[in-house]
């Protein structure tokens, strides 16, 4: 008998919607297979950003930057958020004569800008993040799209720089970074990617004039950062461990959109103002927290069934497993529950009592001799 190999070639033709790279995108929000749009901010209103989603940083904040943050410089118009950097001249309300603190020893404020922040309003654990924005590359400009963890101080809270633009040793550069804590307080471990602006200009002289899509794909295993579908940075989460053993990227993060001035952005004293940083939209897609689809490539992969029915987690394995260690962790990476199972038989059901678990989203980690698998459960 001859072995027959049937090869099916499927060609799918789709229409690609043309988007003017110089204007905000007014088209329909695209769907992503297997994912749900859980947050969408298109800044289509006129006036201030939606207060249900965004608050503001105020004053001098970090990095000895020159700008005083205030809400006035962030406004929605023409289908996009416009953050402007401006010259100013007013007395620093926090000025203290003789102070050694840079935030209080500046007698006057010479520049203003805005930083909008979703802390306490919107935060997310995992998903695909897409932000379409146009950045001002003038000297002094330091725009960013970034996230911080909802708990722990920096950098142990975790920082993800989906986009930064500033000058690295004087060279205008686009960056994509991930940072977490070390044994030294306020000292981060960085995983950074840098692309000189000159490289982008060599391919497209209009690069600064166009909107670009900055994307993050964040799972329990990794963080991938893209610009216009080009992968810039790839960080494995088994490397992002704080000194205390926690993983900051197994917790929710909130977002900041800001335009800093000076410091790493360079000296803006001869720059023509205002500077303009424009954000067309922010979108977050996620799999459902109760989506417990299996990875069939893993031979000892557990299937979770009837999850949280009567506060009981019920699982079965596809193959026999001699020893299986099950842990339940919160989103900070703290282990809340451990149990060992011996001689797991294929197809049999095994139970874990969740009656003492609080409400929330948790990781279930299955460790065997050959694999480690994470699932997500939601207790109600």
- For every residue of 32-89, DSSP letters joined together read -TT-EEEEEE---SSBSPPTTT-EE--B--STT-SEEE-GGGEEEETTEEEEEEEEEE
Q: Give yes or no for residue 249 having a pLDDT over 50.
A: yes
Q: Give yes or no for residue 111 having a pLDDT over 60.
A: yes
Higher pLDDT, 376 or 35: 35
Matching residue, tokens 């993800």: 160
Query: Is 225 in contact with 216 (CB distance < 8 Å)?
Result: yes
CATH of 36-286, one of 2.40.30.210, 3.40.50.10800, 2.60.120.200, 2.40.50.140: 2.60.120.200
pLDDT at 314: 77
Mean pLDDT of 243-259: 95
Please state the pTM of the whole predicted model.
0.75
Mean pLDDT of 342-366: 79
**What's the pLDDT band for 331 if we cut at 50, 70, 90?**
low
**What's the pLDDT band for 292 if we cut at 50, 70, 90?**
very low
**What's the pLDDT band for 370 if we cut at 50, 70, 90?**
low
Q: Count of CB atoms within 10 A of residue 367's CB?
A: 15
Cis ω for the linkage preceding 155 (within 30 of 0)? yes
Query: Is 149 in contact with 252 (CB distance < 8 Å)?
Result: yes
Q: Count of CB atoms within 10 A of residue 200's CB?
A: 19
pLDDT at 76: 98
Range in 120-124, 285-289, 342-346 with the lowest mean pLDDT: 285-289
Q: What is the pLDDT of residues 128-140, one digit of tens each?
A: 999 999 999 999 9
Q: Give yes or no for residue 9 having a pLDDT over 70.
A: no
Query: Is 140 in contact with 265 (CB distance < 8 Å)?
Result: yes
Q: Give yes or no for residue 330 having a pLDDT over 70.
A: yes
Instruction: Return the closest-CA partner of residue 347 out of 377, 322, 315.
Output: 315
Mean pLDDT of 220-244: 94
Q: What are 81's strand-pairing partners?
A: 76, 279
Q: Hey, where are the domains in the chain?
A: 36-286, 302-379
The domain defined by 302-379 folds into: Immunoglobulin-like (2.60.40)
Range in 168-182, 215-229, 312-326 with the lowest mean pLDDT: 312-326
Cis ω for the linkage preceding 274 (within 30 of 0)? yes
Mean pLDDT of 266-270: 97
pLDDT at 201: 98
Range in 28-37, 45-54, 221-230, 357-366 with the lowest mean pLDDT: 357-366
Higher pLDDT, 182 or 319: 182
Query: Is 270 in contact with 113 (CB distance < 8 Å)?
Result: no
Query: Is 162 in contact with 131 (CB distance < 8 Å)?
Result: yes
Cα distances from 264 to residues 6, 140, 167, in angstroms, run 58, 8, 6
Q: Which ranges of the chain would DSSP assign to H, the alpha helix? A: 197-203
Q: Give yes or no for residue 309 having a pLDDT over 70.
A: no
pLDDT at 380: 64
Q: Give yes or no for residue 11 having a pLDDT over 70.
A: no
Mean pLDDT of 322-349: 80
**What's the pLDDT band for 349 if we cut at 50, 70, 90?**
confident
Mean pLDDT of 335-352: 82
pLDDT at 290: 39
Matching residue, tokens 């970090």: 62
pLDDT at 372: 67
Instruction: In whole angstroms, give the CA distance from residue 303 to residue 325.
Output: 15
Cα distances from 201 to residues 138, 167, 198, 271, in angstroms, run 14, 15, 5, 20
- How confident is the prediction for the chain on average, in pLDDT? 87
Instruction: In whole angstroms, give the CA distance from residue 98 to residue 119.
Output: 34
Range in 209-218, 310-319, 347-356 with the lowest mean pLDDT: 310-319
Residues marked active site are found at 159, 164
> Do the domains 36-286 and 302-379 sit in the same CATH topology, yes or no?
no
Q: What is the pLDDT of residues 31-88, one digit of tens each?
A: 998 899 999 999 999 999 999 999 999 999 999 999 999 999 999 999 999 999 999 9
pLDDT at 8: 27
pLDDT at 348: 81
* Most confident of the ranges 189-203, 315-329, 330-344: 189-203
Name the DSSP letter for residue 208.
G
Q: Give yes or no for residue 302 having a pLDDT over 60.
A: no
């Amino acid at each position: 008998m001859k072995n027959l190999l049937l090869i099916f070639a499927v060609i799918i033709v789709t229409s690609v919607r043309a988007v003017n790279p110089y204007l905000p995108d007014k088209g329909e929000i695209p769907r992503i297979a297997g994912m749900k749009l859980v947050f969408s901010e298109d800044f289509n209103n006129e006036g201030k950003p939606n207060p249900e989603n965004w608050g503001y940083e105020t004053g001098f904040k970090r990095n000895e930057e020159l700008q005083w943050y205030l809400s006035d410089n962030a406004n929605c118009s023409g289908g996009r958020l416009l953050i402007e950097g401006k010259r100013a001249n007013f007395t620093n309300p926090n000025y203290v004569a003789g102070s050694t603190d840079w935030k209080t020893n500046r007698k006057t404020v010479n520049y203003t800008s805005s930083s909008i922040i979703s802390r306490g309003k919107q935060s997310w654990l995992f998903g695909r993040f897409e932000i379409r924005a146009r950045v001002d590359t003038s000297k002094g400009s330091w725009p960013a799209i970034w996230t911080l963890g909802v708990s722990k101080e920096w950098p142990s809270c975790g920082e993800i720089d989906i986009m930064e633009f500033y000058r690295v040793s004087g060279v205008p550069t686009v960056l994509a970074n991930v940072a977490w804590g070390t044994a030294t307080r306020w000292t981060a471990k960085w995983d950074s990617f840098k692309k000189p602006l000159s490289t982008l200009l060599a391919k497209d002289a209009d690069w600064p004039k166009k909107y670009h899509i900055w994307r993050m794909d964040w799972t329990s295993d990794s963080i991938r950062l893209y610009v216009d579908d080009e992968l810039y940075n790839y960080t494995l989460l088994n490397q992002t461990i704080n000194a205390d053993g926690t993983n900051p990227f197994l917790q929710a993060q909130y977002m900041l959109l800001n335009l800093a001035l000076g410091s790493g952005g360079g000296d803006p004293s001869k720059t023509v103002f205002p500077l303009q940083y424009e954000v067309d939209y922010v979108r977050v897609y996620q799999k459902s927290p109760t989506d417990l689809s299996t990875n069939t490539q893993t031979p000892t992969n557990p299937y979770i069934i009837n999850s949280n029915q009567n506060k009981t987690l019920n699982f079965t394995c596809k193959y026999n497993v001699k020893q299986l260690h099950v842990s339940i962790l919160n989103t900070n990476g703290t282990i809340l529950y451990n149990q060992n199972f011996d001689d797991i038989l294929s197809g049999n059901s095994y139970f874990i009592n969740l009656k003492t678990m609080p409400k929330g989203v948790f990781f279930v980690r299955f460790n065997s001799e050959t694999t480690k698998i994470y699932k997500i459960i939601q207790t109600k």
